[in-house]
Structure 1
């Protein structure tokens, strides 16, 4: 209906300043001895060469730059703490926001058809009107259309039903929300998501007299499928005896369709 409403120990003694001098003296002594031995007895050169290598190693061990000796200590300053947490002051990597998971048309249809059989109570009230009255959108539509909040309690609720489905699947930004079919259809046009092709999950707007102007709209539902014979299968609220029902409708009574941007 139209209703408005996420260490090398060998050279340990050389590791002081005095040790460094002693090491240098040792190198000089070994070098001089080796040179003399090589002149007096060439065959002694090989063992002396080994001594030279040993002296060289001692010198090298004691001439490592200070910065290099301190490297392990410096590295420890930035090593992760024992509990696995980063050192104090370390920057944590940024966490990318989770991508929004869009519902499918099939999910929307399943939600809508799960309500088939729900009907008005004796006063013409349903949970759909009650839900709508608790939304911020109801306040907005009241400011637009006038009236009082209580009037929604027993108002025509076909559009409140469609709006409820959008909210249930977390897709209100694609379904829109309203109590007045004409204004809801205009919202789809403003979003550039309006057309004349029946698609599963589309919001369908009817005019029983066959009018094609948005102003002619009298009722709204959701397309389940295109039957391919000039009719569509729909699920609608506030139809028949004031209930949620599955219907077959001629496309001749359709003014247009609103298309939520479902997951493909």
Structure 2
């Protein structure tokens, strides 16, 4: 499960996640605008401006990103995630808005260059990370939440940006390894933390869980590799 999503020989089953549109916009109202246009990204998913030759444009983009940081709250992100409860994949493991969105995104082209495969391959791929990424997109918090279809790369993006730790916080992105390993390379699932239950468990909202649904779950902390911390408004 720590392998990359595709190879030339076959599509490998990893764990992904992302989220949806009209419901998200309704939940957020006017704050559902995207934080910035993604025309390029770093290896692990940080967005950068397509016009890198103009310092004024870069400064304007940084300003927009800073404004977005103080607009999007953890409660708003969790509200959009919660609005997707019950969304279910089809019998082929696809058909969700998260997979369709990711397959058409600029990030898909970048992760295909990294991992191989084709855009169509994402349409039936495991989607827990695509769900998380979609929520970030629809709330305008993508620069804080990141985007990827591979859970390991998504976790490493948080770590590379010094935003990864071991404390459960509402709205944090939680990465799981079912065998209890604390290695980022062992990660095979991801979701959002709703709360720390103070009894050795956390409450979460996750995509591609149960029978291929978006569901609320209670998970033991021993399965948690760590948490990614988006920079939310207070």
Task: Settle same-fold status: TM greater than 0.5.
Answer: yes
Alignment-derived partner of residue 197 in structure 1: 167
Higher relative contact order (CA 8 A, sep 6+): 2
2:16 and 2:77 map into 1 onto residues whose CA distance is 23
Q: Are 1:107 and 2:76 counterparts?
A: yes
SS in 1 for 2:117: coil
Deviation at 1:4, TM superposition (A): 6.4
TM-score of the aligned structures, taking structure 2 as reference length: 0.71
Identify the residue that residue 3 of structure 1 maps to in structure 2.
Answer: 15
**Which residue number corresponds to residue 72 of structure 1?**
none
**Corresponding residue for residue 146 of structure 2:** 176
| Structure with the greater alpha carbon radius of gyration | 1
**8 A contact 2:16–2:128 mirrored in 1:** no
On the 8 A contact 1:4/1:145 being kept in 2, the answer is no
Gaps of 5+ in 1: 6-96
Counterpart CA distance in 1 for 2:231 and 2:164 is 11
Q: Which residue of 2 aligns with 1:244?
A: 214
Corresponding position: 1:209 with 2:179: yes
Residue deviations 1:203-259 (CA, integer Å, cap 9, x gap)? 000000000000010100000000000000000000000000000000000000000
Deviation at 1:122, TM superposition (A): 2.3
Unaligned runs of 5+ in 2: 2-13, 18-62
Partner of 1:162: 132
Tell me what 1:148 maps to.
118
Q: State whether structure 2 residue 118 is matched by structure 1 residue 131.
A: no
Which runs of structure 1 show a deviation greater than 6 angstroms over 4 or more consecutive aligned residues?
Answer: none
Q: Distance in 2 between matches of 1:3 and 1:236?
A: 11
Q: Deviations over 1:98-138 (max 9, x none)?
A: 85442110111111011000001222111110010111000
